[in-house]
Structure 1
Amino acid sequence: MVDKAVELGIEVLAITDHNSVEGVAAFRAASRNRPVHIFPGFELSSSEGVHLLCLYPLDTGDDQLGRYLGEFGIRETSPSTELATKTFAEILGAVRSQGGIAIAAHVTNDSGLFDIHSGQARIRAWRDENLLAIQVPGLVEDLPQDILQIVKDQNIDYRRVHPPENGLAIAVVNAKDIVNPGQLEVPSATCWIKMQEVTIDGLRQAFLDPGSRIRLNPKEGKYAPDEHMEIVTVGWKGGFLDGVTVHLNPNLNVLIGGRGAGKSTVVESIRSALGLDPIGDEARKAHDGIVRQVLGSAAKISLLVRVQRPAVHEYRIERTIPNPPLVRELSGEVLHRTPTDILPRVEVYGQHEISEVAKSSDKRTRLLDRFVARDESLIRRKASVRGGLAKNRRALCDARTEIESIQERLAALPGLEETLARFREVGLEERLREQSLLVREERLLASVPQRLAPFREALEILRRELPIDLAFLSTRALEELPGRDILSQATRALTDLEAELDPIADSLEQALARADDGVHQVQTTWDVRRQQVQAEYERILRELQKSRVDGEEFIRLRRQIEELRPLQDRLAVLRRLETE
C-alpha cells in the first residue's frame, strides 16, 4: 500500500480502521524512511450510528491511541461494528480535547451524517463548532440537491456561525476505504491538501481555510494547480540597476541581500511600472525617493507579464520615468489598456508601507478588499443608484422650489380670510351666495381638462413610438451573431405588440374625443346657468352700490381664496415627499 502511495505521489495516508488501531504500527513501519506520512487514528460509530474518522498527531503512540479509543467505550482490540458510548457531538468535542480532529465520514452514504440524522438533530450536528470537515464520495457539484444547498451554505436553517470564505459551509474532502493498493488510483480516494508541514495543526488550519488549501480531484485527468497571472521578468535601462534583468519564479520569490543591495528598488520599480500608488505618507515619500534618486529621470522599467485567461498571452508593460506606463504587445504595438487591466487586483507593499499599514486601522481595513467577493453587477447597480439619487435630488430641489412658491402665495390667505369674515358679518355672503358658489363651480370645471392631460400624454407617446423601430433586429444587424435565429424571434413579439397597441391607441383617441364632447356639453349647459346667475348678481350689485357696499370685491375675494385653498393640499403632498 505504501509502495503504491509513493508511486502515485501520495504523501499522506490516514489509517482509520473501524474500532481498531492494530494496523497503525504496520503502516508506520512500512513508511519509515519513505516520503509518506501516517496520520494514526480510527473510525467510530457514534451512539446514534453516525460514522466519524478520528485523526491524531503523527507521533501519537499506539498505546495512547488505544486509550483514546477506550474513552469511547471500545475495549476490543480487533475491528468491530460496536457503537461508541458517546453521541456524535460528544465524540467531536472529545477528539478535539484529545488533540485530534474528527471528520464526518461518507456523509451521504449509509451510516453517514445525512443518512442517520434528520430534522433538528441533523441541524444541531451540522452546526456543531467542532465539526471542521466532511468526507464526500466525489465532487461537491454531484451531491444530491438538498444536501448540496446545505454544503454550499444556502439553506438558512443549516447556516453555520463561521463558514469558510469559499462558498461552502465547511471543508470538504475525498477519502475512501482502501482494500487493495489499486484503489488508491480512484480519483475520489484522495484529495490535495496544502500544509506548511504535515501535522495535525496543519491539517486543522487547512480545514479552517479550505478555499486556498484544499482541492478535490477532477472526475477525469489529473488535478492541475490554479492558473494565475505572472510577472515573468523585470528589467531596467538607466539608473541604479541599468542593464539588469531579473527572471522571476511563477510562484514564490524571495529577495535576499544586505542594506543597499537594491531589494526595495526592485519592489518600488514594479510598483512604479504598474502605476500603483503607495498607501500612507511615509510609504509615498520612500517610493518617490527611490524613483527620483535611485532610478532617476529617463530610467526605463520593463515588465514581461503572462496572463492565462481567456488564453495564455504575454504583454510588455513599460514605464520611462516620469511618463505614465504603457502596455505593449510583444510586437511593440501600444495598446489602449492600463497595467491594472492586464493584472487586476495586483497589490504591492514596501517595507515601510507594511509598518505604516499595521499602525492604522483604516489602512488595515483596506487590505480586506481583495478578500471580498466580487459582484460583477455592482458597477451597473451603482450607476442605477447614482441615477436614482440624481433623480431624487432634482425632484427634491423642484419640490422645495415649489414649496417656497406655494408658501409665498399662501402667506396672503390669512388676510384674505379675515377680510372675508368682515363681509360675512354684514350678511353679504348670503346675498351673493349663488355667485359665490358659482366661483367654486368654475374652479371645479376648469380642473376637468387637467384630469384628461395624462391620457393625452399617453396617447402622444403611443403615436410617437408606433410603429416600433425593428432595425436593431434586422437580418443585417443579426447576421454575425450565432444566436440570430433565436434573437430574430423577438421581431414577432414586437410586431404582435404593435398590432395590439394600434387599436388601443385608436380606442384611446376616440375615448378622449368623446370625453371632450361630454365636457363641452357640460361647459355649454353650465354657461347658461352662469349667465342666469350673473344677471342676478349684477342686479344685486346695483342694489349694494346704493348701500355703498362693494359686492364685486367680495366675489374677487372668494375667487382668490378658492384658488389658494387647493395649494394647501398640494403643500401637504410636497411636505410628505420631502420627508420621504
Structure 2
Amino acid sequence: MSMNIEYTKAKFWKCALQVNPASYIQYRGKNQDVSEDDYNQRLLEVCLEESIKVIGIADHGNVDSVVKIKETFNAHGIVVFPGFEIASSEKIHLVCLYPENTSQQALNNYLYEFDIDISNGTIPSTKSADFILSRVNDKGGFVYAAHCTDDSGILKHKLNNIWKNPNLYAAQIPTSLERLKDEGDQAYHQILLNKNPDYKREKKIAIINAKDIEDPETLRKENATCLIKMSKPCFSSFKLAFSDSESRVRLNSDIKEKYYSRIESVRFVGGFLDGIDIEYSEHLNALIGGRGTGKSTLIESIRYALNVEPISKETKDQHLKVIKQNLGSGFAELTVKSAVKHGKRYKISRRHGESPIVKDESGSVSNFSPRDLLPDIEIFGQNEIHEIAKDPSEQLKVVERFLNTDKIEKESGVSVVKESLFVTRNNISDLTLNVISLEADVQDLKTHEEDENRYKELGIDQQLKLLPIVESERSTFNKISGKVEVLKKAIKDFSESIPCGDFITEELIKEFPDKEIFENAKLALVELKDNINQSVAKMEADSESVKQKVELLDKELQVSIDRQEDSITKEFKKLTPVEGLTGKQIGEEYRELIKNIERLKPKRAELDAEQIKLDEEIAKRKALLAELSEKKTNRAAAFEKGVKKLNRKLKGNIKVNYSAEKNRLALIKLITHYRLPDVAEGRLSWMKEANEFSAPLFAETIKKGRDALIEKNWGMTPATADRLSKISNKQIMEIEEFKIDDLVSIELNVSSGDEPLYKKLDSLSTGQQCTALLHMLLLDNQDPLLLDQPEDNLDNAFIAERIVTQVRDAKLTRQFIFATHNANIPIFGDAEWIGVLESTNENGMLPIQNQGSIDQPNIQCLAAKILEGGEDAFNRRKEKYGF
C-alpha cells in the first residue's frame, strides 16, 4: 500500500483479535443457519459500523476460512491477521497471529508443527507452551494468552513459568482491570499489575480485551476489541506496539474523552518553509532534522502566527529576525481546536508585518484573537527556559499557573479592600488639606474677632452698628444666588439621566415569542420619559424665573446697600480720631475687618463638618486595614493549600516552597520613588531579610518616628531612619496598604535513590535549573506546549529518567510539539508524530514520507541517521525499534 497522508501519525485503531469464522458456532454446539458468505458479509458490516480496522482470525486449530475472510475484508480496507487458537500440552489456550500476507498453507504447516489435528483442532497440542511461544516468535508471529483468568487460562492453571516467558506479549482478560479487582479477583489483579513476586516479569505484560466472536453482533461489545496505536494498521506496527504496550495498547474502557486544545495542522506558503504541510498528532510530536533544516524556524513561525511574544527583549529580537528572514512575503496558517471555545475549530493565518487573521469553520473572519482561542498556550524557543530560571518573577508566573491565582485573588477580596483603601487614602489626604486650610481660616477669624473687640472697646461698634448687619445681608444674599445655581444644575443633571426605551429595537425583539410585551414596555418607558420631560421643562422654566427674580432682588438689595453704605460712610466723619488716624480711616479699617469676619464666619462650621468627615474616613480606613489583614491571611492559606496540591502532582521530582508577602523588592522600589535624600535601593536592602516585618507594621513605626524605627532592629542606619520618619502621611498610608509580593522558591530532587535530596534552584547547574522548570511546564494545561530543543539546557540524565516519563503521562491530556535532536524524547516518549526536516540552500522540506511514527521503517532509518548517537545508539534500542 502506498503512503497515505492518513498514515503520517500514530493513533489508536480498534482491533478485534479473536474473530471466529461461520463454522465456529457449530463448535459451540449450535446450528449455523447462515452461509459462510452471508456470515462474512454481516461480520464486515458490523466492523465498518464499529470502526474496527484490524481483525485477528483465531479459530480453534483450523484456518480454512482465512482466505475468504481476507478477500472480503481487505477490499474494504480492513486488515486481517490470519492465525488460530490452540491449547498447549498444559491445556492452556493461546492465540497465535501472523503477518497479513501469511498463506493458508504456511498456517497449516505451523499447525502441523504444533501437532494439531486440523480435523479436530480443539484437542491440545503435544507441544509445550514454551515451545509454541518460541516457534511462533521465530516465524515472526505474535502470541497472547487467551482467557487468562478462565478455566483454560494460564493464570487459572498457575503456570507462572510460562507467564514470565518474554515471548508472551499479552494476556486477554474479560473486562477492565478495575472491574476485575472489584469482582474479587485480587490475586489476578496483582499479577496483571506485575506486583506478584512469583509472577514478576522483566516487562509488564500487555492487557487486552479480545472476546470470542461467535456472532457478528458480539463485535459491538466493549470487551470484544482493544485499541492498538499504530501509524498504519499492519502486522509489523501491531507487533512493535507491544514492545511499548504502556503507551500503545489500551482497553476501550481506558479511553476517556479528554477535552484539551490542539494545533491540528500547519502549512506554509512562501518563505523558507514553503510547501510544508503538517497534520500533528494530538499527543506528542517531535520535529527532528540536521542543523539549518528549519526546526527553530518552524516553531518560531507558529509562535508568530499565534502572536505569542518571547519573554525577553533579546529573545524577541531574535524571534523577529528569524521571521523576517524566513517567512518573507509568505504566510503561516494553523488549524486549531480550542478547548475554551468548546472544541470549535479555527484557522489562524499571518503574514510577516501583519496581524493574525482568525476565521471560523464557515470561513468568516472572527473577532477572536489567537490568545482568545489558546489562552494558556506556552511556547519556548532555544534557551528561553534558562532565562526563566534566572528570573524569579518569571518563575513565580510558572508556579502561579497551577494555583488558580486569579480565582484565589478574586475570592480573597484583597483587591476590593485595596481599592477601598485607595479611595480612603485620597479622601483623607484631600480632607486633611481642607482641614488645614479651614483651620488657617478659623485662626484668621479668631484674629479678626480679637481686632473687633478692640473696636468695641472704642465704642465704634455702637456708632457703626449698621455696618456688620449690611455685610451679613450681602453674604447671606450671595448664598441665595448660589443655591439657585445649584438647583438649576441639579435639574439639568436629572434631565440627562432619565432612562429611555431606545435599546428596545425592532431588530432586537423581532424573534421574541413575547414581542408584544416588550413593545408595550417600550411604550410605557416612552410615556414616562415624556411626562418627566414635561415636568423637567416646567422646573427649568420655574428655576429660570426664580433666577431672574433673584437677580432683580439682588440689584434692589445692592441699591439699598449702597444707600446704607453712603450713610455709614458719613458716620465715619463723626468718629473720634485715634492715634493719628482720622475717623474716616478708622471707619474704612473697621468696614474691611467686618467684611473679613463675615466672609470667614462660615469657615468655623465648615471646619467642624470637614473634621467629622475626616474622623469618619480615618475610622473607616482603620476598619478596612483590619479587614485587609484578615483577607490576606485567608489568601495566604489558599495559596499554601494550592502549593501542597502542586507538590503532590510533582511526585517528589521538585518541590515548591511558598512564603506569603516575603518578596519585598517592590516595596523597596516604592520607597525609592519617594526620592528621599540619600535613600537609594542599597540603603533599603535590610528590608529583604528583616524579621517580624510587614507593610502595616512598617507604616505604623514610621508614624512613631526615628527612634521607633531604630529600636525595631531591622538593620537600617540612623540616617535612613531619620529620612523615613519625614515622609508624608499620604506616603505612610500608601505603605500600610501596600501588598508585598509572595516569595516562591523551587527545589529540585537531585537524588538518584529513594531518599529525596532537594537543592534550591539558584544552587543548581543550568541544566538542572531548566529540568526543574520543565517538570512544572509539563503539568496540567489544556493548551499545547511547544519547545525548541529543550535538551540544550537540560541535564541529559534527567531527560531519560524523569522528563520522558512525565511526557508519556502528560501527553494523554495535552499536546506537545518539540523540536529536538535528543533521541530520548521522541523514542522513549513514543512520539505519535515524528517529522524529519531536510533542506536545500533555498528551502526546508518535510515530504509526506518523512512524517510518521517510529513503527514505520522509513522513519526508523531517517531518525537513526539524525538523532543523537546515530545508528549505534539506535541499535542499542533494538527492542524498541525492532531492527
What TM-score, normalized by structure 2, do the two folds share? 0.34
Higher relative contact order (CA 8 A, sep 6+): 2
What TM-score, normalized by structure 1, do the two folds share? 0.48
